[in-house]
Amino acid sequence: MRLYDTHAHYNDGKFEDYEGGASALLSHLHEHEGVDFVLNAATSLESCKQVLALAEEFDFCYCALGIHPEDCGKEKSPEEAVNALRELLKHKKALAVGEIGLDYYWEENPPKETQIAYFEAQMALARELSLPVVIHDREAHGDVFDILSRYPDVTAVLHSYSGSPEMARQYLQNPNRYISFSGVLTFKNAVKTVETAKIVPVSRILSETDCPYLAPVPYRGKMNHSGYMAKTVEKLSEIKGIPVEELAEVLEENAKRVFGL
């Protein structure tokens, strides 16, 4: 099975636990585990440079560039951040603006107004550059939905989707919306996520790891990588009643369509 991992963080320091680090792991995954596409998502201007370096090192690695809600306000104003991103996004392997969005889960996160200002500025940039966006939404479902609805023309991927099936249904009324499932789908307590997967047409689904986090069962709690994504695809194939090889092909087509490959 060919694996298209649409959300990863191989620039994360945790990959140093693997002998030879992220580069050795990526080579192994590409040569032996069918991993044919990895989109590394940046979270800050500093990490933009790291994911671009990985995209230059490996043909099958691409990246999304953006400021994560937890990181906004730390480096530059929204305008300055967008100006820096606009330059970086000229790189031919930068395929999306991300990961961007809102995170109301952690109390120590930047204030809502700050998060919203960066999110909106980056949505406007995606529209200006005709690029898709990769969305992080944690405990901010209503605000994320409202902001995205002002950008119906921008293709948006709801990364590691954690909203309700009802909200997914509303998102999917717009043909430019995609729901991405991570290893969370395999967790025992992921009832809502499984219910969502049941109602999303396969043509609107992407698969991802969010590695090194969110390893699927039976690797839950371990350092995640794109090879483990096979477990998530198997779970999806069970839920959708589609043979796993066939589903993997659809997921590949979807990823290519969204990211313009």
Least distance from C-beta 243 to Zn ion, angstroms? 29
Angle of helix 112-129 versus helix 141-148 axis, rounded to 10 = 30
Q: How far apart are CA 12 and CA 37, in angstroms?
A: 18
CB 215 within 8 A of CB 232: no
Alpha helices in the chain (DSSP H): 21-32, 45-57, 78-88, 112-129, 141-148, 165-172, 191-199, 229-240, 244-259
User: Which residue's CB is nearer to Zn ion, number 159 or number 237?
Assistant: 159
User: Which residue's CB is nearer to Zn ion, number 8 or number 194?
Assistant: 8
71 binds Zn ion (CB under 5 A): no
What is the chain's alpha carbon radius of gyration, rounded to the nearest angstrom? Answer: 17
User: Which residue's CB is nearer to Zn ion, number 71 or number 252?
Assistant: 71
Q: What is the DSSP letter of 105?
A: S
Least distance from C-beta 120 to Zn ion, angstroms? 20
User: Which residue's CB is nearer to Zn ion, number 71 or number 210?
Assistant: 210
Alpha-carbon distances, residue 237 vs 38, 118, 247 (angstroms)? 21, 37, 6
Among positions 75-134, residues that touch Zn ion (CB under 5 A) are none
User: Which residue's CB is nearer to Zn ion, number 77 or number 105?
Assistant: 105
User: Which residue's CB is nearer to Zn ion, number 42 or number 237?
Assistant: 42
Least distance from C-beta 246 to Zn ion, angstroms? 28
Least distance from C-beta 69 to Zn ion, angstroms? 11
Alpha-carbon distances, residue 175 vs 30, 119, 152, 154, 202 (angstroms)? 31, 21, 9, 10, 13
Which residue has its beta carbon closest to Zn ion?
Answer: 210
Least distance from C-beta 173 to Zn ion, angstroms? 26
**3-state secondary structure (DSSP) of residue 36:** strand
Least distance from C-beta 99 to Zn ion, angstroms? 5
Among positions 188-247, residues that touch Zn ion (CB under 5 A) are 210
User: Which of 175, 145, 138, 129 has the alpha carbon at shortest distance from 159?
Assistant: 138
Residues that bind Zn ion (rule: CB under 5 A) add up to a total of 1
Residues lying near Zn ion in the complex (CB under 5 A): 210
